[in-house]
Amino acid sequence: MPRINTRTRIAIVTSLLTVAYIILQQTDFRLLLDFEFSFDPVKPLVLALLVYLGTYWALFFKISGERFITVLMFPAIGVFAVSLFAELAILTVFSELGQLSLLIVSAVFFWFFTYVMLLTVNILNAAYMQDIPLGQAARAAQFVLTLIISYFFFFLFFSNDIFLLFRLAGIHIVGALVVYIALWSIDFYFYQRLTVSLAIGVLLIFAAAVLSVWPVAAPYLAWY
């Protein structure tokens, strides 16, 4: 039996994940589990877990140590953010379209975004094990993806009526995590990455606390 290469595995994982995304859109777990949220938190968690395991398989299980966080967590938090953002924002922006059109638009966006993330972490993982020419391009792509993912999360934090302390805690955790993952691809020592990421997380708390009292719409607050 011929061996499936990494790019084919990534395409398979992305396609299966998109199918799961479409299927999950037909279910509202808030009704099943009696949640009183403005969004369904279960679907993003399920998709994040699936992409975490799928990425592990797509990379031929060549993951160890810190890369269980830096490599596998990156697409997981990205899928979590984009799926939740699609539910709360994209479907609202295109609300004039029919239900089927909404699902197709969000599914295409979900597939493309997930595929790019998996390609990026694949190159970063390979660059970690040996120096390759595409390593620099992957780091640049990761930087752009980190900005997009951060915007999705911050938009969600500011657009929902979340208790201020929970909002600030969430911003700190997400901010510190994405910064730590981004710094991993650069030659920094562990304590340097940890110190910088935690410091930026604290700065984000202060910035978010100030912005929370501004009478500005969530999409603009998230840009800051």
pLDDT in tens, 125-135: 998 888 888 88
Residues 6+ apart with CB under 8 A from 175: 150, 197, 200, 201, 204
d(CA 21, CA 15): 10
Residues of the domain holding 124 = 6-223
Distances in Å between the Cα of 57 and the Cα atoms of 7, 15, 62 are 12, 14, 9
Asked if pLDDT for residue 198 goes beyond 50, the answer is yes
d(CA 53, CA 144): 24
Asked if pLDDT for residue 1 goes beyond 50, the answer is no
pLDDT digits (tens, 9 = 90+) for 49-103: 999 999 999 998 889 888 899 999 999 999 999 988 887 765 555 555 556 777 7
Residue 1 lies in a domain: no
* Higher pLDDT, residue 157 or 12: 12
What is the count of structural domains for the chain? Answer: 1
- Among 14, 4, 1, smallest CA distance to 119 is for 14
11: its two tokens: 């395409």
Residues 6+ apart with CB under 8 A from 15: 111
Q: Which of 63-77, 92-106, 107-121, 199-213 has the lowest mean pLDDT?
A: 92-106
Residue 204 lies in a domain: yes
Tell me the H-state helices in the chain.
6-24, 29-33, 42-58, 67-70, 73-85, 91-93, 99-129, 135-159, 164-184, 190-211, 218-223
Residue 19 lies in a domain: yes
Long-range interactions of 21-27: CB distance < 8 A, separation 24+? 21/47, 21/83, 21/106, 21/107, 21/110, 22/103, 22/107, 25/87, 25/103, 25/106
CB 83 within 8 A of CB 44: yes
Residue 30 lies in a domain: yes
pLDDT digits (tens, 9 = 90+) for 22-34: 988 887 777 776 6
Residue 205 lies in a domain: yes
- Among 154, 161, 195, 145, smallest CA distance to 175 is for 154
